[in-house]
């Protein structure tokens, strides 16, 4: 790989849970046994690029908020609109990065499903994770519905429509003096 950014021993620590674990490169395998490289390579870069773009949007929003120009910045609101689907795209790119290397081999019978599962993930971990997701969604969903229902119940905000006070001493209506009957005396 050209222009690779490498962190020493991080790969072996993540993949083998050991500081000095051996990681075989692609060239250690016969060409017919190598997984496709392009989808995970580009999927990872798309995912990381989107993360930096979303980070920029957050920082720009915070700066605009500090300057009290957040709601007046049309360009920022349009940027938020344009970046709304990027989280979903990043999740899909991450899924491609994770699954493309191992899934075809399990589907075609070249790799047992038991061997394609992450070794550090137990069934208890999956159960706890699932239960926590259920609990969080059982709290978030009714809370969101109740909040939105309260907004609908309150109705639209009524703004004060009283005319501004004119400080120049002129009458408040342009023809007020003309409409008054004149008294001669």
3-state secondary structure of 94: helix
Q: What is the pLDDT of residue 49?
A: 96
Whether the pLDDT of residue 177 is over 60: the answer is no
Angle at 163 between CA 157 and CA 166, to 5 degrees: 145
* pTM for the structure as a whole: 0.54
pLDDT at 65 over 60: yes
CA 8 to CA 19: how far, in whole Å? 10
The mean pLDDT value of the chain amounts to: 83
Q: Using alpha carbons only, give the angle 121, 124, 130 rounded to the nearest 5 degrees.
A: 90
Helix axes 38-66, 74-83, angle to 10 degrees: 150
CA distance 185 to 169: 25
Residues 6+ apart with CB under 8 A from 35: 100, 101, 102, 104, 105
Mean pLDDT confidence for 121-140? 93
Q: Per residue in 5-17, pLDDT tens?
A: 777 788 888 878 8
Token couple for 27:
């060239």
User: What is d(CA 55, CA 64) in angstroms, rounded to the nearest whole number?
Assistant: 14
DSSP string for 10-38: HHHHHHHSSTT-----GGGS-GGGPPPSH
Percent of the chain whose predicted confidence (pLDDT) is above 90: 42
The span from the first CA to the last CA of the chain, in angstroms, equals: 102
Q: What's the rounded Cα separation, in Å, for the pair 104 and 17?
A: 25
pLDDT (tens digit, 9 = 90+) per residue, 12-45?
A: 888 788 888 887 777 887 887 777 788 888 999 9
CA–CA dist 48, 51 (Å, integer): 5
């Amino acid at each position: 790989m050209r222009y690779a950014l490498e962190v020493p021993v991080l790969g072996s620590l993540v993949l083998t849970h050991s500081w000095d674990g051996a990681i075989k490169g692609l060239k250690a395998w016969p060409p017919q046994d190598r997984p496709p490289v392009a989808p995970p390579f580009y999927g990872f870069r798309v995912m990381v690029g989107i993360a930096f773009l979303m980070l920029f949007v957050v920082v720009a929003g915070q700066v605009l908020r500090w300057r009290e120009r957040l709601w007046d910045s049309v360009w920022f609101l349009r940027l938020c609109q344009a970046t709304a689907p990027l989280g979903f795209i990043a999740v899909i790119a991450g899924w491609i990065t994770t699954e493309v290397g191992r899934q075809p081999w399990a589907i075609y019978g070249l790799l047992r499903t038991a061997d394609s599962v992450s070794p550090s993930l137990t069934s208890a971990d999956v159960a706890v994770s699932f239960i926590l997701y259920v609990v969080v969604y059982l709290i978030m969903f009714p809370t969101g519905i109740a909040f939105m229902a309260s907004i609908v119940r309150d109705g639209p905000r009524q703004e004060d429509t009283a005319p501004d006070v004119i400080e120049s001493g002129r009458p408040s209506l342009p023809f007020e003096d003309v409409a008054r009957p004149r008294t001669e005396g």
